């Protein structure tokens, strides 16, 4: 269709922008990716003003715009805190998502609720990063690949949702005396 390429570009640029900001906040890039951010903002403006989008294209656009605004606000706040020296490199991103940051000695449990694994890849990534961080703190085990982990989460989510008729599944990861405890349960929220 007419605007599908623009929507695909926007989705790809947003994915790249998220990666570029992650690289920047981890200290592996000197400047934030402003050029790509400006390109995304221009495309958002162009497509928002377009009246010829189909209903499905408009829905996709609104979803992408909402995601971009959430990320943009998170990046702005993280950048402000980084400039003020208030937080360590990774602390802000995890605090914004409501996920506790792990200390050097005894990490706390991480609990993330997932309703739709296909639409909530960022939550799966946070869960995976938390697992890697706990493994680093507690055990010397080799981590499973992300693709395998994401497939497992999707399977568990579908299975538990069907079995218990719930709308979401709460995954919890914790270090329990040098063993990783990973649980999945119906989320009652």
Considering 62, 88, 114, which residue would you say is the last residue of a domain?
88
d(CA 127, CA 154): 12
Residues facing residue 182 across a β-bridge: 173
Q: What is the pTM of this model?
A: 0.45
Residues 102 and 79 placed together within one structural domain of the fold: no
Residues 181 and 112 placed together within one structural domain of the fold: yes
Query: How many separate domains does the chain show?
Result: 2
Residues 63 and 114 placed together within one structural domain of the fold: no
Residues 133 and 167 placed together within one structural domain of the fold: yes
Which pLDDT does position 173 carry in this prediction?
Answer: 83
In this structure, what are the phi and psi dihedrals at residue 147, rounded to the nearest 5 degrees? Answer: -60, -40
Considering 60, 88, 116, which residue would you say is the last residue of a domain?
88
Q: Tens digits of per-residue pLDDT, 34-73?
A: 999 999 999 999 998 888 888 888 898 899 999 999 998 8
Residues 74 and 151 placed together within one structural domain of the fold: no
Residues 136 and 182 placed together within one structural domain of the fold: yes
Which pLDDT does position 138 carry in this prediction?
Answer: 52
Residues 83 and 114 placed together within one structural domain of the fold: no
Q: Read off the tokens for 173.
A: 């990861």
3-state helix, strand, coil in the chain (%, to 5): 60, 10, 30
Residues 116 and 157 placed together within one structural domain of the fold: yes
Considering 51, 69, 88, which residue would you say is the last residue of a domain?
88
Residues 181 and 103 placed together within one structural domain of the fold: yes
The CA–CA distances, whole Å, from 78 to 26, 68, 126, 128 equal 11, 15, 17, 21
How buried is residue 14: exposed, middle or buried, by Cβ count under 10 Å (0-12/13-18/19+)?
Answer: buried
Residues 113 and 171 placed together within one structural domain of the fold: yes
- Domain span at residue 40? 4-88
Which pLDDT does position 12 carry in this prediction?
Answer: 93
Ordered per-residue pLDDT tens for the chain, 189 residues: 578 899 999 999 999 999 999 888 888 888 889 999 999 999 999 998 888 888 888 898 899 999 999 998 888 888 888 777 654 444 444 444 444 443 334 446 788 888 888 888 888 888 888 888 777 655 555 568 888 888 989 999 998 888 888 888 888 888 766 677 888 888 865
Residues 57 and 13 placed together within one structural domain of the fold: yes
Which pLDDT does position 97 carry in this prediction?
Answer: 44
Residues 66 and 120 placed together within one structural domain of the fold: no
Which pLDDT does position 186 carry in this prediction?
Answer: 86
């Amino acid at each position: 269709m007419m605007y599908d390429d623009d929507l695909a570009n926007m989705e790809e640029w947003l994915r790249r922008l998220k990666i570029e900001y992650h690289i920047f906040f981890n200290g592996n890039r000197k400047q934030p990716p402003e050029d790509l951010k400006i390109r995304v903002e221009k495309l958002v403006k162009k497509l928002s003003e377009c009246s010829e989008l189909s209903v499905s294209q408009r829905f996709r656009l609104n979803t992408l715009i909402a995601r971009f605004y959430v990320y943009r606000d998170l990046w702005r706040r993280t950048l402000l805190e980084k400039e003020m020296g208030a937080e360590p490199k990774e602390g802000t991103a995890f605090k914004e998502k409501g996920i506790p940051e792990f200390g050097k000695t005894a990490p706390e449990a991480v609990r993330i609720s997932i309703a739709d694994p296909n639409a909530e890849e960022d939550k799966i990534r946070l869960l995976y990063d938390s697992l890697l961080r706990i493994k680093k703190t507690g055990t010397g085990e080799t981590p499973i690949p992300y693709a395998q982990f994401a497939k497992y989460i999707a399977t568990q989510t579908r299975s538990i949702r069907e079995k218990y008729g719930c709308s979401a599944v709460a995954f919890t990861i914790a270090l329990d005396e040098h063993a990783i405890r990973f649980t999945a349960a119906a989320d009652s929220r």
